[in-house]
Structure 1
């Protein structure tokens, strides 16, 4: 037993001594190892390690030395997308790529974020010169290793191990969705993004163009502000995701650095201008209107200072801060306006809520406060589409209510408020149309003028309140006595007019007699006093092609005068002619 333990002890010492004397193969073993044959469909930052630059910029050799001397300087991400907040400096992503085959394997390494300022891909293989690829917003599109909006590097990984060192620098939110895939998978991913952005930008541009046309036609500033609001969001998104630089300003590197905060200024300003115009804050909340104006002026001033000092990071922080203030103000205005009785504001409130939720989810995602997901990353775009469509509904609802109010006002202007009948303004356009139709068809038509006999005496004896009651009762009786096709209106005072389409003189006299008889039988009870009234009627018929409605009404009025001269409570008739 003693010899057995002695043998075990001797073998252990021998094994430890051998390990201590042996030369290490190389330092690659301390790093994550990626199989070059892998074709990752999604982001895979959790398959690499990273370190954050502290102070001065590190060279590739310095990073290599740091890793060799102390591998614990590396941090291993727990999520597939690395996020590190705004103005967080530069980071290095490091991994070993192993190709176990005898042939090179072509793979594309890319970072799926369009706003990164500079991305350096360095690939080192033992016995070969390092390969260096550059990309990012600080480099003109044509000077990048691959002229794409997304930083990318295509590399045929040779047999054996290759070290990947990837440096990312930006003043914007540090979001690094690292992709390692075949060219085909990369193209498929880019096509999916293109479809999504085409839908988002298509919807926003369509709404913007439609409202611009509405502004051109209606001259309502809220349509112009809404158009600027939607188009400026597209400008913000396009400047951030690299589409703007790829399509519109491929060589304007300086402009690309300042375009995002500047377009965010335009987005906030136009959004607040639309909100104040739509909700009429200048009239209903002047203090809020002045506060919003003050915020806008202060933002412009600070942005100008940061631009003069070339402090892009501070300008971005200010922009994100103002966007947060903007969303709070928009939500507050929507809620308060809705609570104040503006029903159209409910769409405004819901739309703003959608954009606030979307922007918040994206902000939390890119700042690493919630787990990265494609839905979270694109939440701001989805929220803005919902917001834009709901705001369009708000504008449509407001336009509908304005139209209803206008039609109601026009209709009210055509209605006699006491009797509920048409007044002259409501009667004449319809009567003119019917008269013109009768003239073209050479059909029969008559006009009657009706007057309440001795109505002035009723007012003098019983008072105007009773007179109004009697006038209303007579109007109701006339309205019940007319035929459905007849057009009745209060002409003024105690006079009424009646247009009788497709009616000859004999039939018009029958209608007029029915009116006279029904009014004669009408009794109005005023506190026990029985009040009776009679009417006189003048009728004129159309007997010539060129007789106008005005001429016919004038003739009927003459006949009404004759009926009164002859003793009232009767009907007088006459014909109109060209010579009359």
Structure 2
């Protein structure tokens, strides 16, 4: 934003440009001439001459005398915006305004910069002062010539020539976009700026509010810091462009002088706080983290000293000194984090780069190095919006990755790492829902407990590594043999459990028999040795409304015990009810 601190830092590097390009006026009769009938829509500082005070303030009469005796002191800017950089001496703008009509022409003269401390407007004819207006941050809003955020004065230029002089003074960067237009054109320009700032501030406040809500929900500090970062951007720019004084503190002149550097401090601090939290520098780059904290503490300390000594100009210089440090740190943290493998940092890096490029284009525009245009003038505003959106994408990307990691962790917590099947926790989370549904519908549902026969002897004879291979092979076969909709899990050790929805005991017996037969025929090869296994199965079903899944699993485990007692490689099924359970053991000798 043209009033934002990025601009001021870059202006330090280019503030001499207009002075170098300036041309001296030949004599007083060669003063620039402005046609009062013309309606200049853009900035037109290049249509006037200017004089720089050399350390001492000049009075109106002294300037008039200098113009008369030594007109070569007057310089001619080559751009519509005059920019002399930070902490410049006061300047005088001078031109003659010609009205070739028979009647007065009303025109508004304004300087479209909201942070200038004092702007005096002088209108005179035949060296006689006709009227003087005053404006600027040092003047309460109601005491200005026009109660607006930018210095302005309305004047009816009489027929003939009228001398126009403006004196501009500020400790902030001397940026003077001079406008000379009708009231209608001035209103149109103000309306455009109002729409533009409304869009910028609307985007920033929306992002700030959204992240504040995320912070309230997730309690992650990076959302709070980002919310402060975007909100304080609005505040610091509003304090510089005069919107803050116009809307919030119209009479607080001293506060207006100190608000910009103070808010710049808060903005830089919140930006670094967000960056360190987002990039986790406390853990990943502890040395850099300490440097950033030291810079923040030092800045606050020096600012407090400047405020105690009432050195506002020194506080501004200090603020603009910290700005390049802030920019370099942000870029460095983004690049180093991205190169270190943090893919979310690419949004952070690109966002910071967008704001820097925008600031650079705006600085070159107002300094006159490149041709003035509205796009160039507001490049920093656009860059900061891009920056904010990209940082929001960075947060969204980080949130997405955290969610994926959380889902993966939850999934891992419910999956047996060896077999890839559900573990007990994963099984129960699904089976309990299906059991409750079956209970409400009154439908059939069965539970089977499966155990590998003599599995301990396999571990003892071949080793646990081979035992794990056998277990994995059997788990794969069970998974392949189950019906779609059945829920299979490793219950623990060499035990598996199976939930069979919409299944009665006879059908469950058929499924279990297919399992038993397939495992019996399964072979596992180990270094030329063939390993065969069998399984025993116990089945229980739901026969009463209030029979719980836990009860059914317990009954199926009892039936599994019965199958083992009867000789293994068998299936035992019983009925689960309130009164008792009947156990039926199926000796499958005909299958052997």
Q: TM-score, normalising length from structure 1?
A: 0.94
Any residues of structure 2 matched to 1:539-558 within 5 Å, and which? Answer: 539-558=539-558
- 2:79–2:368 CA contact under 8 A, matched in 1: no
Corresponding position of 1:567? 567
Paired with 1:504 and 1:316, the residues of 2 have a C-alpha distance of 83
- 1:85–1:368 CA contact under 8 A, matched in 2: no
Corresponding position of 1:518? 518
- 1:200–1:385 CA contact under 8 A, matched in 2: yes
Structure 2: gaps of 5 or more residues: 1-26, 581-592
Q: Secondary structure at the match of 2:113?
A: coil
Corresponding position of 1:12? none
Closer, same or farther: CA 534–127 of 1 in aligned 2, 3 Å: closer
- 2:539–2:560 CA contact under 8 A, matched in 1: yes
CA shift for structure 1 position 397? 0.3
Any residues of structure 2 matched to 1:474-489 within 5 Å, and which? Answer: 474-489=474-489
CA shift for structure 1 position 368? 5.0
Paired with 1:33 and 1:491, the residues of 2 have a C-alpha distance of 95
CA shift for structure 1 position 111? 0.6
Any residues of structure 2 matched to 1:92-171 within 5 Å, and which? Answer: 92-126=92-126, 130-171=130-171
Paired with 2:371 and 2:314, the residues of 1 have a C-alpha distance of 26
- Deviations for 1:338-364, whole angstroms, at most 9, x for unmatched residues? 000000011111011111212233344
CA shift for structure 1 position 542? 0.9
- Deviations for 1:508-561, whole angstroms, at most 9, x for unmatched residues? 000000001111111111112111111110001111111110011011111111
Corresponding position of 1:60? 60
Moved more, 459-468 or 363-372: 363-372
Any residues of structure 2 matched to 1:423-442 within 5 Å, and which? Answer: 423-442=423-442
Closer, same or farther: CA 310–367 of 1 in aligned 2, 3 Å: farther
Paired with 1:554 and 1:55, the residues of 2 have a C-alpha distance of 96
- Deviations for 1:133-164, whole angstroms, at most 9, x for unmatched residues? 11000001011011000110001111111110
CA shift for structure 1 position 372? 4.0
Moved more, 389-398 or 369-378: 369-378
Corresponding position of 2:403? 403
Corresponding position of 2:496? 496
Q: Secondary structure at the match of 1:130?
A: strand
Any residues of structure 2 matched to 1:453-468 within 5 Å, and which? Answer: 453-468=453-468
Paired with 1:342 and 1:476, the residues of 2 have a C-alpha distance of 37
Corresponding position of 1:274? 274
- Deviations for 1:472-526, whole angstroms, at most 9, x for unmatched residues? 1111111111001110000001100000011011100000000011111111111
Paired with 1:482 and 1:48, the residues of 2 have a C-alpha distance of 90
- 2:93–2:165 CA contact under 8 A, matched in 1: yes
Corresponding position of 2:445? 445
Moved more, 350-359 or 373-382: 373-382
In the alignment, does 2:208 pair up with 1:237?
no
In the alignment, does 2:322 pair up with 1:341?
no
Moved more, 541-550 or 365-374: 365-374
CA shift for structure 1 position 28? 6.3
CA shift for structure 1 position 333? 0.5
- 1:174–1:366 CA contact under 8 A, matched in 2: no
CA shift for structure 1 position 365? 4.0
CA shift for structure 1 position 53? 0.9
CA shift for structure 1 position 367? 4.7
Moved more, 452-461 or 491-500: 452-461
Paired with 2:28 and 2:150, the residues of 1 have a C-alpha distance of 29
- 1:118–1:134 CA contact under 8 A, matched in 2: yes
Corresponding position of 2:471? 471
Corresponding position of 2:509? 509
CA shift for structure 1 position 369? 5.0
Paired with 1:239 and 1:365, the residues of 2 have a C-alpha distance of 22
Q: TM-score, normalising length from structure 2?
A: 0.92
Corresponding position of 1:377? 377
CA shift for structure 1 position 400? 0.3
Corresponding position of 1:79? 79
Structure 1: gaps of 5 or more residues: 1-26
- Deviations for 1:370-393, whole angstroms, at most 9, x for unmatched residues? 554433332221111111100000
Paired with 2:384 and 2:346, the residues of 1 have a C-alpha distance of 16
CA shift for structure 1 position 318? 1.5
CA shift for structure 1 position 128? 6.6
Paired with 1:460 and 1:467, the residues of 2 have a C-alpha distance of 9
Q: Secondary structure at the match of 1:103?
A: coil
Over the aligned positions, Cα root-mean-square deviation in angstroms equals 1.3
- 1:119–1:166 CA contact under 8 A, matched in 2: yes
Paired with 2:369 and 2:36, the residues of 1 have a C-alpha distance of 32
CA shift for structure 1 position 471? 0.8
Q: Secondary structure at the match of 2:133?
A: strand
In the alignment, does 2:415 pair up with 1:415?
yes
- 1:28–1:96 CA contact under 8 A, matched in 2: no
Closer, same or farther: CA 519–432 of 1 in aligned 2, 3 Å: same
Closer, same or farther: CA 199–345 of 1 in aligned 2, 3 Å: same
